[in-house]
Amino acid sequence: MRSVASSLGCSSLILTALLLQVGCPAESGDSDATTAPTASMPTLPTLSGTTTETGTTAGTVTDSSATTGTATESSGSQGTEPTGGTTADSSGTTMSIDTSSTGSTTVSSDPSASSTTGEPPCDVIEATLKPVVPNMVLVLDKSGSMVANPDGFWDHDADVNTPKITRWNSLYQVVKLVVTDYNDSINFGANLFPSTMAMKAYTAAACVVNANVEIPVAALNKDAILNGIPQAGDTSLVGGTPTFSGVTAALNHLKTLDPAVPRAILLVTDGAANCAVGAAPPPLFESYDQALHTLVESAWTNDKIPTYVVGIDTKDVVSGNTQDGNPNGTNSFVKLNELAVQGGKPKDDPNEKFYNAVNQIQLKAALDVIAKDALSCIIPLAEPPFFPEGTKVIVGGKEVPKVMDCTMENGWVYTNPMGPYDAIELCGTACSDLKISKEADVQFFCDAG
């Protein structure tokens, strides 16, 4: 954060509670003080994602007369000594600057500042920052149809010459890849429907779901998830499809988390919701649970918690009126299409709004697309900038323009346009670029000039 010592006419910098005064002119009447340096203008470091211009130590102060990684004053006066990073005067004396906890930080000077008034040039904070890590619960279908023979087996690799494996086997393997690939960029949790306590019975005992999620959301949660769900080769899975209860537990958990951090549900299922709460068979198992749609739509509309919907080999057909555990007269394909739209994150396809995977290859591709989409483009700032209009954002070496409408333009905005200016959000193509680079360089100036 920047501050200006107006009584001295001197720019100063507060960075993680440490003060570095750069070439402050003396108060009148101070016979021991030296004048502010008026030598050649320091050079603003180039933002390329490396430290070749600003030195190898984050937090280094440089000017054009100094060796890379040091700063040299033309007079003998020294600024107040902070406690972390390094600077040096011409005699070799060093002092330190702490770096931000959210990324590396350097301090340089703005060559556009005036040197004709005797004022020192305007300092610049330059920080490499990372977006906030979103919270996501995987809501996974553990019903008996995921392993039942023969329908629970599928051509997972699109090769008729290899043996089929269970749908659950494929789901486990894909979940393993996704939580490994995004272990440090998404805080995962997981919930099963039905739970492992469900029974193989034509009663409500087949619809049991834990009131709390099996694996709560946490950072670096890969191992907890993979150890907390049935293993790939488990063929003992039984139960109905209590999707409503599985999503309810996940939403209740997400609502206990910070709403300022993006939250989402990733729902994977191979069948129609058939376990309406409080129902007895029939209509339990034989009627579709429409309450699921109301629940998902409310989560998106009221709480801004989206639901990504993935179907496993979902057929675009209407079920018959037989007592077989499939809701009568129901087209699961149509229902999942509706659910994906109501969940706020439909696929960009006029005919297929949910992600329908017919093999493990497509299932992996779907979960990978969803994970990337769920990555956040919100970058928190440790402290609001002193002059918000002077902030510059660089992603992949290119400056990103400040825009007015994040939903319509490519650029960046403050998440709170009227303040406090404690976070920025990248929009459109800039957001996509951030998800690739995983970080942004941000410059904070002491004035908007």
Q: Is the pLDDT of residue 41 over 70?
A: no
Residue 43 has phi, psi (to 5 degrees) of -95, 130
Rounded Cα gap, residues 72 and 264, in angstroms: 50
pLDDT given at position 124: 76
- In the predicted model, what is the mean pLDDT of the chain? 80
Instruction: List the domain boundaries for the chain.
Output: 1-128, 135-374, 378-445
Confidence of residue 446 (pLDDT cuts 50, 70, 90): confident
Identify residue 309 by its one-letter amino acid code: V
Please give the pLDDT value at position 125: 85
Digit-coded pLDDT (tens) for 379-388? 999 889 988 9
Cβ pair 251, 259 in contact under 8 A:
no
Task: Report yes or no: 403 and 413 within 8 Å, Cβ to Cβ.
Answer: yes
Using 50, 70 and 90 to split pLDDT, how confident is the model at 51? very low
Which pLDDT score is estimated for 104? 52
102 or 337, higher pLDDT: 337
Residue 80 has what pLDDT? Answer: 39
Cβ atoms of 54 and 67 within 8 Å: the answer is no
* 97 contacts 87 by C-beta, under 8 angstroms: yes
| Interatomic CA distance for residues 392 and 252, integer angstroms | 39
Residue 13 CB burial class (10 angstroms; 0-12, 13-18, ≥19): buried
Domain 135-374 CATH (choose: 3.20.20.70, 3.40.50.410, 3.40.190.10, 3.90.1150.10):
3.40.50.410
Average pLDDT over residues 389-398: 95
Residue 199: is its pLDDT beyond 90?
A: yes
Provide the residue type at 326 as one letter: N
pLDDT, one tens digit per residue, over 89-129 is 433 333 333 333 345 555 544 444 443 444 445 567 889 99
Q: Between 262 and 16, where is the model more confident? A: 262
pLDDT of residue 3: 35
- What mean pLDDT is predicted for residues 243-259? 98
Residues 6 or more apart from 4 whose CB is under 8 A from it? 10, 11, 12, 386, 446
Distance of CA 437 to the CA centre of its chain: 13
Q: Which residues pair with 402 in a beta bridge?
A: 412
